[in-house]
Amino acid sequence: MKKLAIALAAALAAGPALAAEEAEPFFSLHSTEFVVTIAFLLFIAVLLKFRVPGLLGGVLDKRAEGIRNDLAAAKALHDEAKAVLASYEQKQREVSDQSAAIVDSARREAQAAAEQAKLDLKASIARRLKAAEDQIAQAEAAAVKEVRDRAATVAVGAAGDLIARTMTAADRGRLIDAAIGEVEARLH
């Protein structure tokens, strides 16, 4: 209200000074400045009567409150986005750790399988070597037996030929009699 009074006093004080230059008096309805000043003051009075500055202040306060609420909501969304980002980064680290563990486990299993395959191969080679050695030993034994049998057959044949050539008929009769006597002794 004080502002209105000061503005009115300034307008009224300035009016007569400006009116002095003109032929018409300032406080006449024929004076354009006076009519404009009165209309302006009435406009200000109507604005004040209907509390337009308060309404404008209220609208501006509501707008400021809405902006504050929007900023708070944006900050909350920003914080939530940060939390979600941190959660996803944590999950990514966990998945990365798990995949590294899986790769390490697979590597260890592959190494263990390779070692087991080496052991199995060595065992298979040892079994095959043993089987081959057994076959060689059997073949050797069969060859030795065959050589012995042949040697015995050849020796018997040679002895028979030698005896047949060197033995007389009387010697043969004595040998036959001795063999019959030995058979009789063993049978009784």
DSSP string of 17-28, one letter each residue: HHHTTSSS-TTS
Give residue 41's pLDDT band: very low, low, confident or very high (50, 70, 90). very high
> What number is the average pLDDT over the span 80-98?
95
Q: DSSP letters of 133-150?
A: HHHHHHHHHHHHHHHHHH
- CA pair distance 41, 10, nearest whole angstrom: 12
Q: Is the pLDDT of residue 38 over 50?
A: yes
Give residue 15's pLDDT band: very low, low, confident or very high (50, 70, 90). low
Give me the torsion for CA of 110, 112, 115, 119, rounded to 10°: -120
Q: What is the pLDDT of residue 75?
A: 96
List the chain domain ranges.
1-50, 64-188
Among the residue ranges 30-34, 69-73, 100-104, 127-131, the one predicted with the least confidence is 30-34
Task: Give 147-153 contacts, CB < 8 A, sequence gap 24+.
Answer: none
Q: What is the pLDDT of residue 9?
A: 57
Q: What is the pLDDT of residue 13?
A: 56
Amino acid letter, residue 33: E
Contact 26, 33 (CB under 8 A): yes
pLDDT tens for 146-188 read 888 888 888 878 877 777 777 777 877 887 888 888 888 888 7
Q: What is the pLDDT of residue 21?
A: 53
* Max avg pLDDT among 19-23, 27-31, 140-144: 140-144
Q: What is the pLDDT of residue 19?
A: 47
Whole-Å CA distances, 82 to 68, 91, 92, 133, 171:
21, 14, 15, 75, 126
Phi, psi of 94 (to 5 degrees): -65, -45
> What number is the average pLDDT over the span 108-121?
94
Q: What is the pLDDT of residue 159?
A: 76
pLDDT tens for 56-86 read 888 999 999 999 999 999 999 999 999 999 9
Give residue 53's pLDDT band: very low, low, confident or very high (50, 70, 90). confident
